[in-house]
Each structure stands twice: as structure tokens, then as C-alpha cells.
Amino acid sequence: MPVCFSCLLLIVGVCCSKSDFSKAIQVSCEPFIYPDYTDIVIPPNIAPLNFMVSDSFDRVIATLKGTKGEMQVKGRRKISFKDHFFKVFLEENKGDTIWIEVAARKDGKWIKYSPFFWFVANEPIDPWLTYRLIEPGYEVWNKINISLRNVTNFQVKVIADNNMADNACMNCHTANKQNPEMSFFHIRHSKRGGTIVNERGHLRKINTTSDKTISAGVYGSWHPRGRFIAFSTNIIVPAFYSVPHKKMEVYDATSDLVILDLKRNEIFSGEAISQEGKFETFPEFSADGKRLFFCVADSVKLPDDYKFLKYNLCVVDFDTASRTFGEKVDTIFSADRYNKTVSEPRVSPDGKYILVTVFDYGTFPIWHSEAKLNLIDLKTGEINPLPDVNNNNKKYSNSYHCWSSNSRWIVFASKRENGLYGMPYFAYIDKKGQGHKSFVLPQRNPEFYGYFYKSFNIPELFAVQPNFGVADIERIFKEPAEKVTFIGGR
């Protein structure tokens, strides 16, 4: 890890005792630390933000100064905070700024860097994070698990392992924000597959396939009351490039939307969300459940015209009593106007914003280096490109985003580290809708991301700990799936 040139000029000739760095030369730049936790807004309940400095140093001291006290930690290149003391220090300085001063030694010579800050927000982040661990290239899909991490500490456990489910593919663990004890994910298997629905600890396996729909449910969104789940049905095509600077594309050859009624085990659709000549995908219910957002594109000749496949973000009214859709479909984000495509809409639980991924063309953003998160104000229509969240200096995919239940925090998967591995990043969205600099999920060993060679796929925040485990999934996998009835379409 490099040291800035201006700092190197000031190190020469400086010598301090091993135990006292009070005479260290003050330099005018912040330290280069990994992970980059400089100048960020953090939750008051986040796990310790352990970090390391350049290889060229053999001793590091970090001094944290807040309005409510001071804390000092020493280490050999690494700064590792004690869990309890870190938690107490953040809680005492909640709503205020902590300044971090780093001093580093090499060959008995000390320098002291300009301080960086952590602003401790008043609002906590949801403490539970699930994600799918998968090989980054998708060449190996039969070694998958869904893990659960407590983001307030470093505890992690596997809650679904495909080794216990005949090596079936598992994906899309999605929470209901208004009812955080409810979630679903898919198990793809020729004989025992289905959508695993968790309703407050009661597990159901539902076969959402129908001879009148394109496929089983794929991308989904909970209705806030918990009775309905909107799903896309898709024919998904992976395609590999023959040029070195691009790896692969994943796109829909065709797609529609359907609604699963969990009370009646019925699937239905409507003209507004399932039109001839259109590709509808990525459904998302509004926070009050009265509208359904979705992405829709005009069909094109595939794969020849794939670069012309661009999706609009649209919305239509939904009536829960009659299970019908409105006749008028409004456009929130126009692909023609911005010459971009949009995917993965996620509405903030307070109903004020919708967070989307915007990129140049296509359906699936994960391999698009230009893919960025955008925040749309649902009252004004204003689009915020979130430069501090996206880290616009690096062109690597940011996608698979999710809100914390208080609408102040988001988590998303970013490949900014090396372009290959998706890592979970958090960012604060303030009350004015402004996004702040994002930071990676902290690990006990700050070198973790340098040697862990799997992608954190589809990170999802939960306010309540999912109350099932590997044995529960193994059991439900072996049971027959509930069948559904398709009652209407376009």
C-alpha cells in the first residue's frame, strides 16, 4: 500500500523513542488505511472498524477522540478494537464526530497523519445481514450457502447450505421490511425445488410453476401486509464474451410478472404487468402496498440487438381487495430520455424514495462496470446519482441493494475492489435524501477481503434475526411442495 510522496519528504531525519510518539512530525495528508474507513458516517451499533496501514510500517497507534472521551489502540500494522469498548465508545458519542489520529513508525522514526473522522449517526442499522456466498464467475454454482452475519459484531453462521439440499442452487433471500420476520428464497431443483417462504418461523415450500406462466417465480417483492409476493417469470440467458475486457452478460429472453397469493395458493397477473411485446421484470411493491413498481422494456431481437435492450421504471395501482391493477401505467424513469436502462427498484420503508441501478443497456447489472445506484424522490421525481455512495472514481458494478428498516441505511454489493468479487458496502442516506461515503462490512481481520475468494451476493438487511437454520431447510427440502393454481393473465 503506497505512502503519499509529500509525507515521505517529511519523514527523513525524524527519530522518536519506541514508546513516545509525541515528537513525531505532523504531515498534511490522511493515512492510507485498508479498508478505507476515512471520513464516513457510521451506525452507532456497527462492529469495530478494524483497519491496517501500509506494509512499510512496523508499529501503529490510533487515537480516537470524541466529545465523550478518548480511546487509544496500538498494533503492528493492524488496528483491532476490543468489541465492548468500541461499542460503548460509539454509543457515548452518538450524534457527534469522532476524530481518529494515526501515528506510524518505521525504523524507529514516527510520523503523525492528519486526522480523519467518523460521524456516528443517531439511527442504528438493522443488525442482521444475509447474503449468498458464491464463486464470482458463476462457473461453479453447486457450492452455495446463505449466511447470516450480525453486523454489530463478527458472529456469522450458515442458515441454508446446498450441500444439505442435493447441491441445488439457492438464491434471492428477500425480507419483508414491514414484517421483518417474513422472508423467502428459491431452491432450484428438478424434483424437490420450490420457493421457501418463512412466515414468522413457519416454513413453506411452494411450487410457483404453471403451464400458463413462463417459469417459476424469480425476482420478487413482498406486499407489506405479507399476503402477496410479486414475482417475475423469466427465461434467463447467460452469454459469454470472446473479448478480454468483458466477461459475460445475463439477460432475459422473455419475461412477465405475476402475483402469488399466499392465503389462497393462487397466482394471477394482469394486462398492465404482462403485455405482449414487452419484457416486464423486477417488481417492487410500494411501502403502503397500493402500487407496484416494475421495470419494462420493448422486446428486441436477441442476442443481436442486446445493446438496444433498455428498461423503463414504471408504476401501476394495485387493489388488494379485488386483486386487480389500474389501467394507467406511469413512467418514473424513462430509458429513452436518459439513454440508460434501469433495474432492481427498492422502495425505502418510509415510502419517500426508490433506489435503482442504472447502467448502459441490458437486464442484469452485475457485470456492467458502469452500473451505479441512483435515488429517485417519489414526490418530486428528482434523480440523485449518489456520487459519494458509488465512489465514482472507480467503474465497477454497484447493485443488489437493500434498505434498513428505518430508511436511513442501505447495503449493496460492489465490485470496486477488483472488478471480480462482490463485497457488501453500507451507506447512510440522510433525511434530505443525500447519500454519504460508503464503506465495506467490517471484519475482525482487516486483511479478510484480500484472501477470501467468494462473492457476497444479494445482501439483505433484517431487523429481526431469521429464525431458521440449515436443519430446517434440509427438512423442508425433502417435503413435497405446495402447488398453486393460475387463475388469470393477460
Residue 201: predicted pLDDT = 87
Residue 8: predicted pLDDT = 33
Query: Hey, what's the cell of 374?
Result: 441512483
Ranges of residues in the chain with a pLDDT under 50 are: 1-19, 490
What would the pLDDT profile of 376-401 be if each residue is shown by its tens digit? 999 999 999 999 999 866 678 899 99
Q: Single out the residue of 319, 272, 268, 327 nearest to residue 488, CA to CA.
A: 268
Beta bridge partners, 354, equal 347, 376
Residue 20: predicted pLDDT = 54
d(CA 490, CA 482): 24
**Helix, strand, coil percentages for the chain (3-state, nearest 5):** 10, 45, 45
Residue 2: predicted pLDDT = 40
What would the pLDDT profile of 396-407 be if each residue is shown by its tens digit? 889 999 999 999
pTM of this structure? 0.92
End-to-end CA distance of the chain: 58
Burial of 92 (0-12, 13-18, 19+ CB in 10 A): middle
Contact indicator for 108, 15 with CB cutoff of 8 Å: yes
CB count in 10 Å sphere of residue 314: 22
Task: Please name the residue that has the C-alpha cell 446519482.
Answer: 385
Query: Hey, what's the cell of 140?
Result: 461453479
d(CA 123, CA 119): 12
| Alpha-carbon dihedral sign for residues 394, 398, 402, 403 | positive
Give residue 69's region: left, alpha or beta (phi > 0; psi -120 to 50).
left
Residue 78: phi and psi, rounded to 5, are: -105, 140
Residue 23: predicted pLDDT = 74
Give the count of alpha carbons within 13 A of 162, CB side only: 22
Report CA Rg, the chain. 24
Interstrand relation of 202-207 and 482-483 (parallel, antiparallel or unpaired): parallel
Residue 12: predicted pLDDT = 29
d(CA 263, CA 266): 8
In order of their start, the domains of the chain are: 5-120 (2.60.40.3760), 128-478 (2.120.10.30)
> Which helix (DSSP H) or strand (DSSP E) does residue 203 occupy?
strand 202-207
Q: Single out the residue of 224, 231, 177 nearest to residue 207, CA to CA.
A: 231
Give the contacts of 274 (CB within 8 A, at least 6 positions apart).
256, 257, 258, 280, 489, 490
